[in-house]
Structure 1
């Protein structure tokens, strides 16, 4: 291995003091170089750069949160709009059905019919034995004449494998329960409540109309049809 000239001179009998001085100087230079590498100052604007980067990250995070919130609001607004449009469509369809109904019974070209039950709806209540009914009564045979009378309901049920009929007083759970009165020219909705005895399975509902003049009118509806969303006469 080749040595630097000063060390070669030392090896070959050079002056020891000069060689020692050179060694000390080399060690000092190496130490200074290492210290400079370890403790050299960072660029003058390093803190500013770090602060700028931190502010940039914070701004980007805030922007991302804002965009996410805006997207959520837009989605909710769109869902609300779609729901409102569906409700309006349903309302328009209902109004058109009402117009057709009115024209059929009030219009000059409508089919003439005597007293009848146009529709019956049964709506479940919080108590599973309690049901609310809405019966739509119509007549346009005698235009302008008032049709009045009383309404009762009866229920055909299966109980233990046999069929039996529950009358109005049983459904109302009251002996001598009063009938529901009606009075109209063209149509009227008559409402009330009935109570199903426990353990019976309803099959058919019978609406019985007792007009002030004329014979009684009976019209039946299957339980499944009367409890459907759009119950109509049968």
Structure 2
């Protein structure tokens, strides 16, 4: 009588891919962050400039900031785990570090927007009324070209509209002499020396400016003048180097 044969043992070969599960988790995290920021941007595009929803925008920003903070803490912990692990490949580690940087940038942007809304709705006693809030410059496609964005705000009293004009001048040197050039002479998007404005909460003035090749800019001077019984003036000077180094 022959002995019963035992079934042959089977082995399954599985390819080892270091960091695969972690990379997949991080990719999902990136998609969720992008979706959150995309939703916020879409909200602004569809209704963010309808000034009746400023308080709603502020509350939504607070929720977005809290959500990103939670994602940031989770990504930070994963980064710590990666740095401690010896078997995780360098690619996964670099990807985690990049995600941390992206999250920090998005959180900073959301916090800046949140502060902007909070300052409009609950300002300090010394910052009420018409304000030159900020000016930003971004390098254009050609040398000497810059996309500009000027933001004017009415802080505190938002029950009525405020109107007036704002003048922008670029101050610099040409042929060893100081020269002041109006924004109208640098941008095809601006027709008048004083740009008219009318708003309750805030208004943007945007366009493209091009500097003369032999002109060296130093400062940008912004003067906003409101009209009416309670007319007011707001003035602010921006350093050109600080505007363009970011």
TM-score (structure 2 length as normaliser): 0.56
In structure 1, the gaps of 5 or more residues are 1-61, 230-234
Instruction: Trace 1:74-113 onto structure 2 (pairs within 5 A).
Output: 74-107=89-122, 111-113=126-128
CA distance in 1, matches of 2:190, 2:133: 29
Alignment length, in residue pairs?
165
SS in 2 for 1:136: strand
Structure of greater Rg? 1
Aligned to 2:3: none
The answer (yes or no) to whether the contact 1:123–1:133 under 8 Å persists in 2 is: yes
What is the CA-CA distance between 1:200 and the residue it aligns to? 0.8
Aligned to 1:207: 222
Deviations 1:128-172 (A, max 9, x none): 121111112122243322223343321111011110111233212
The answer (yes or no) to whether the contact 1:104–1:110 under 8 Å persists in 2 is: no
Structure 2 residue 233 is the aligned partner of structure 1 residue 226: no
The answer (yes or no) to whether the contact 2:222–2:235 under 8 Å persists in 1 is: yes
Aligned to 1:140: 155
Deviations 1:173-226 (A, max 9, x none): 699557544333233332122110111100111123243433554321111122
Q: CA RMSD in A?
A: 3.2
Aligned to 1:29: none
SS in 2 for 1:169: helix
CA distance in 2, matches of 1:99, 1:184: 20
- Shift in CA distance, 139/71, structure 1 to aligned 2, threshold 3 Å: closer
TM-score (structure 1 length as normaliser): 0.58
CA distance in 1, matches of 2:155, 2:190: 35
The answer (yes or no) to whether the contact 1:103–1:110 under 8 Å persists in 2 is: no
CA distance in 2, matches of 1:133, 1:183: 19
Counterpart selection for 1:171 from 170, 181, 186: 186
Counterpart selection for 1:197 from 212, 226, 246: 212
In structure 2, the gaps of 5 or more residues are 1-12, 24-88
CA distance in 2, matches of 1:215, 1:101: 21
Instruction: Trace 1:123-162 onto structure 2 (pairs within 5 A).
Output: 123-162=138-177
CA distance in 2, matches of 1:108, 1:119: 16
